[in-house]
Every structure is written in C-alpha cells, then in structure tokens.
Chain A
C-alpha cells in the first residue's frame, strides 16, 4: 500500500487522465443524460423553494461532488421560521 502510494505520488499523469475522464463524462452528458444536469437541478430546486419562501441567494450553500459513478449535490437553504417572519411583519 505504501509502496503504491509512493509510486502514485511520483506519477501525476494517471491523475490527470482520471480527472479528465470524469470531467468529460459529465460535460458530454454521458453521466446524467444532459450536459450540466447538476446545474439544472440546482436552479430548479432553488426556484421551487423560492416559490414558497423568500430565499436569499447569499444564504444558500451549494456543494457539489462529481464522481465517476455517483455525483452528489447538496443544497442547504436557510428557511426563515414563521416566528421570525411575524416579527419581521410587525416591524
């Protein structure tokens, strides 16, 4: 194992090759069926949330990890509680 990691640290070309293969699979739309599926999902999910609650674009945390077989999209939206809203309405 340590021998392997020593070896892989020395050669960067296989890393380049793997990064490209994953990236291009996404850009070509092979993974997910369309070129930037994750970006489309992000926009649509935010639009749905925005229809019901006021969402500050700055308070939305989006993390994405595009992997070989699985990609994850994490969207964290701060939804104002009804209590806070009432306070806001009175002010």
Chain B
C-alpha cells in the first residue's frame, strides 16, 4: 500500500527540500520504490538538490493539465534506479494546479511507487494546502527556533482541519523532524531543547538532524545528504528517521561527526 507523505513546515528555509531529498533517498536505499514530488511551483528547488536540474523536460503542471504523460515527466535518479523525481514548474504559477488534477496524478503515482514524498512550498497558501491535501502522513520540519515552532504549530492545525483525511474524520499521522539541532548549544541553554519543542508541539518525534556542514556540501554537488556521505551525522540521522517512518523502532540518538582534538579545536572556530 503506497503512502503519500507531505514534508511541510510553514516557515521557509528550515530544511523541507533537504529533508525530502534525504528521506526519499534513504527510503530508496532501503529498497522501496520512491518518488519525490516538488509542489513549490514557480520556485522549484528539489531538482537542484537532487542534482537533476539539467534533466527536467516536463513537470507536475504539464501532467496535471494533460500536456504530458506521467512517465514522460518522471526523472529517474542516476544513483538509485528505484528513486524518481517529479519536478515542479519554474515558469507557471500555483493556480495552474487544480485539486482534482493533483489527486489524479497522486493516484497514478500510488500504483507505481511505495512512497510518494511531497515537498511543500513554504507558507499556508494554495501550494502548501494542495501539497498536504491528499497526504496519509505528514513530516513537520522544524528548527529549534521560535518563529519556526510557531509556524509549525499553525501547520499542524491545518493538517488537522484542511486535509482529506481530517475531513473524513480520521486522524492525520504527524511526525516532527527537528533539523539544524545543535546539542551543545541546547545543553548551554542557548537553544530550545528537543523536549521543549516536543512539549509545545506535542506530536511524535521522527528524528533529530544535527546542524552540519555536510548538508550544504551535499546540496552544492546536487546529491541528497544520505547518498553524498552516508556515514556523516545528518545522513545517519535521516537514515534513522526514514526507518522510523517505515514503522521500525529505532533508538533516538543525535549522531555527531566524531572529530579528533585538533578537528574540534579548529572546526568550532567559525561557528
């Protein structure tokens, strides 16, 4: 049974696209058939983070409007052949997406894939509500920072009221993915701690992704962090989160990049 997952946050820049790419690749590494779908019409970036920006011919809107068949628009990943991307349009605007059209495309994707990860645009406008509309599961990406937590709270409210699942009277399955977490700063009382955010948002925790240089390094070269450097701390954290998404019980750890004494001394300088 295919699962539609919306990766959402309300606030921009917290790591939705990074997380969609990393979780999608991790699920695919586990053998599932995965498609990542970019709903950020007009400001697509998932293609860039996946390293497929030069291979985009057709996009989600072309498929929704019937200008292209779904297989024509799907871009198969060069590293994992069970991972595909359905890009967003860069030129059109989000009004070109109809609710019925999106529902039809998602139904078609359900037949071909085990996991359909929808990368939501920021905000609470049409693009974001369409991305979450048909989801079975929601991953709420949050930074340990006041504006991000507030916006996540707002998005959780929308997930519980504006989705098909909510309207059918069912409970939307929501998971918190805490990104850019710095355990040392949280320990010093300079950053909201994991349990602070959990207590405020009160949804179950999917994973804690530590702040890491590896994330930028991976996006620089157009590779999900879980593929680019699988042993790095964020990659291991995303891999664990992907396993939890599949329902596996995985101990909640905050992976760290082990560095020698010299690495610690010089590595921290810039921060």
A interface residues (Cβ-Cβ under 8 A, vs B):
10-14, 16-17, 19-21, 23-24, 27-28
Contacts and interface: CB of A to CB of B under 8 A. Distances in A.
Interface stretch (B28-36, B74-82, B145-153): B145-153
A10 B189 contact: yes
Interface of B is mostly: helix
A24 B186 contact: no
B157 A23 contact: no
B150 A12 contact: no
B162 to A, nearest CB: 15
Nearest to A19: B146
Contacts of B186: 13
Contacts, number: 37
Q: What are the 4 closest A-B residue pairs judged by CB atoms, nearest first? A: A11-B189, A17-B196, A13-B189, A16-B146
A13 B157 contact: no
Contact of B146 (A14, A20, A28): A20
B100 interface: no
Given A21-B200, A24-B150, A16 B157 contact: no
A13 B153 contact: no
B166 interface: no
A26 to B, nearest CB: 11
Nearest to B146: A16
Given A13-B186, A16-B146, A24 B200 contact: yes
A20 B157 contact: no
A20 B190 contact: no
Contacts of A24: 150, 153, 200
Given A12-B190, A16-B145, A27-B150, 20 more contacts: A10-B189, A11-B190, A12-B189, A13-B191, A13-B193, A13-B196, A14-B189, A16-B146, A16-B196, A17-B196, A17-B200, A19-B146, A20-B149, A20-B192, A21-B200, A23-B150, A27-B153, A27-B154, A28-B153, A28-B157
Interface in B160-202: 186, 188-193, 196, 200
Interface residues of B, number: 16
A11 B150 contact: no
Contacts of B192: 13, 16-17, 20
Contacts of B188: 11
A19 B196 CA distance: 12
A21 B145 CA distance: 13
A17 B252 CA distance: 22
B242 to A, nearest CB: 28
Contacts of A20: 146, 149-150, 192, 200
A16 B188 CA distance: 14
A27 B201 CA distance: 13
A27 to B, nearest CB: 7
A19 B74 CA distance: 45
A84 B184 CA distance: 65
Contacts of A23: 150
Contacts of B145: 16
Contacts of A14: 189
Contacts of A16: 145-146, 192, 196
A19 to B, nearest CB: 6
A14 B186 CA distance: 10
A41 B256 CA distance: 50
Contacts of B200: 17, 20-21, 24
